[in-house]
Amino acid sequence: MAFSLYERQFLGLHGLLPPTFMTIEQQAYRVMSKLRQQPNDLAKYIQMDSLQDVNEKLFYRVICDNVKELMRIVYTPTVGLACQKYGFIYRNPKGLYITIHDNSVSKIYQILSNWPHKDIQAIVVTDGERILGLGDLGAYGMGIPVGKLALYVALAGLHPGQCLPVLLDVGTDNKTVIESNEFHVLLNDPFYIGLRRKRTRGEEYDRLVDNFMKACTKRFGRDTLIQFEDFGNLNAYRLLDKYKDAYCMFNDDIQEEIAADSNYIGTAAVVVAGLLTTMRVTKKKLCEQRILFFGAGGANTGVAEMCIRQMVEEGMSEAEACEKIFMFDIDGLITKSRVPTLLPRHKRFAKDLPDTKDLYEVVKMVQPHALIGASTKGGAFTKEIIQEMAKNNDRPIIFALSNPTKNSECTAEQAFRLTNGKVLFASGSPFENVEINGKIYKPGQGNNAYIFPGISLGCVLFKAKHIPDKLFLLAARRVAASVSEKSLFKYCRLYPRLKNIREISVQIAMEVGNYLYHHNLATLHPEPDDMEMYIRMNVYSTDYTDVINRPYEWPPQDSKHGFPVPLLERMSMEDE
């Protein structure tokens, strides 16, 4: 109902639409009013999915205006439930399906050519083997690249017509999707939309991925951004190592080090951003702090590695930086006596300290400035541990990153109350505000949505050759710098407000652009004179534009007949 009267008459729509005219703001109000009456999150997901089919611009406008409320609907955690029921709620096709039977460059190229949009700049691809914490969902995993690209558009401003979700269907080995009151078998599910066969592995699988990468660059260009999403752990690491220097690609599950079981919403880059924010309060560089990690899985190991890179840039050697990092895993503090049984990535964090499995004893012994939990052990940060942190530090840093809420090492309420508001707290799960003695504390939630949209925007606009790990640290610094003085010092919030996330993405894209040109990794030439203006001119607008070009008038003297027609005289009778 946003068509003007002129557009309705010109396009033959007059009378086919109700005789009212609405702005996009009025339409967004109608959408949100209906959405808030839906009985559950899955129903909200289905409504938004239907809206994307019929009015893409309104879909993104609604998300942009309600980021905090809707990000959890269009992506995690609701997208996980939607993927489990993807066949049942399937309505209209979104994205491309490339199967193991299409295993050649020419066949995949033809499939890519069938996509109606030709100027593709960003691709998110999955093989459905490790969808969030749900395991192998096969073709039901298409909801992940669809949702991820929706965030690309809403949070960074990539053009939706330049985004392509892809699912590589090589079968599935996981026969169970939901184990509840009724037993559900995926391969026998009548609604399953993928190949009903066991997952292909080995050489044939590798050849499919290789052919896919070649076909994408042949069809859309070598500077097309390709993000690998929710591949199985073994394939994810192997494929990243194989392609990261040859293509413009990344896998935020690895380069931002989400834990293997996807129970952590915090990623390395966004966690380090929170730590960098605390430096504005503590007045201490990261290299001056001891950091104790509770949990030594992929999440905390990734954070530790990025902390080391930051410390090195602050003037430390890598060996000195490792001395600042303490790791506590399922067997207790990682010490030198355990080196023979440690994984290679943990050995350099081993300390010459007594063995212990008591976290409280470790906190008393190490006296860390920061305690970071990514263990999924709910309540692990006990009253004694939190109070010991407050005893040893004027402003203790406690990050409880495990997700969902029941797995959080402590709640925001516990952290703030037990330290009398001294704590600098962040979490992986959302927590309500805490009020102590009339002061409101607003706990920050680490979310990788602060990081990857801006990096993707910069790499797309400046046509990166490949994506170096340093970009994630630059993005973390920019996120930390974006926290306002009011948010930090009045409310103790360590992350920017989600409603500002598009602006943060623009700032990250500027950092990316400067780095790419400085290191000869950008292929867009010449370099824009005004990088910020170039970015803002190219971000997707959620405002309606005229469907029909408006006619314009010439000056009256030039839009009339050129001259008066004279009366011609008859020359002879033959003219009769």
Decide if 463 is catalytic: no
Whether the Cβ atoms of residue 150 and residue 63 lie closer than 8 Å to each other:
yes
Angle at the Cα of 37 from the Cα atoms of 32 and 40, rounded to 5 degrees: 105
Cα 512 to its chain centre, rounded Å, is 16
Taking CA atoms, 488 is separated from 107, 219, 281, 310, 501, in Å, by 54, 47, 8, 21, 17
Q: Which residue has the tokens 């008066």?
A: 564
Look at phi and psi of residue 15 and say left if phi exceeds 0, alpha if psi is from -120 to 50, else beta: left
**DSSP state letters, 299-339:** HHHHHHHHHHHHHHHTT--HHHHHHTEEEEETTEE-BGGGG
Rounded Cα gap, residues 475 and 481, in angstroms? 10
Q: Is 136 annotated as a binding residue?
A: no
Taking CA atoms, 55 is separated from 19, 59, 118, 401, 545, in Å, by 19, 6, 20, 36, 13
Q: Is 448 annotated as a binding residue?
A: no
Q: Is 253 annotated as a binding residue?
A: yes
Q: Is 447 annotated as a binding residue?
A: yes
The residues, any chain, with a CB within 8 Å of residue 202's CB and separated by 6 or more, are none
List the 163-169 sheet strands across, edge first.
96-99, 163-169, 122-126, 225-228, 249-250
Rounded Cα gap, residues 155 and 272, in angstroms? 20
- Picking from 372, 366, 290, 297, the residue whose alpha carbon sits closest to that of residue 324 is 290
- Picking from 474, 486, 483, the residue whose alpha carbon sits closest to that of residue 445 is 483
Point out the catalytic residue in the list 45, 60, 75, 540.
75
Q: Is 502 annotated as a binding residue?
A: no
Tokens of 448: 């990788």
Whether the Cβ atoms of residue 481 and residue 496 lie closer than 8 Å to each other:
no
The residues, any chain, with a CB within 8 Å of residue 85's CB and separated by 6 or more, are 42
Point out the catalytic residue in the list 148, 324, 442, 465.
148
SS3 407: helix
Q: Is 331 annotated as a binding residue?
A: no
Which phi and psi angles does 347 have, rounded to 5°?
A: -60, -35
Number of other CB atoms surrounding residue 391 within 10 Å:
12
Q: What is the CA radius of gyration of the chain?
A: 28
Interstrand relation of 163-169 and 183-185 (parallel, antiparallel or unpaired): unpaired
Decide if 218 is catalytic: no
Rounded Cα gap, residues 542 and 165, in angstroms? 21
Rounded Cα gap, residues 37 and 41, in angstroms? 11
SS3 2: coil
Report, as residue numbers or ranges, the catalytic residues.
Answer: 75, 148
Point out the annotated binding site. 130, 229-230, 253, 403, 447
Binding residues for a divalent metal cation: 229-230, 253
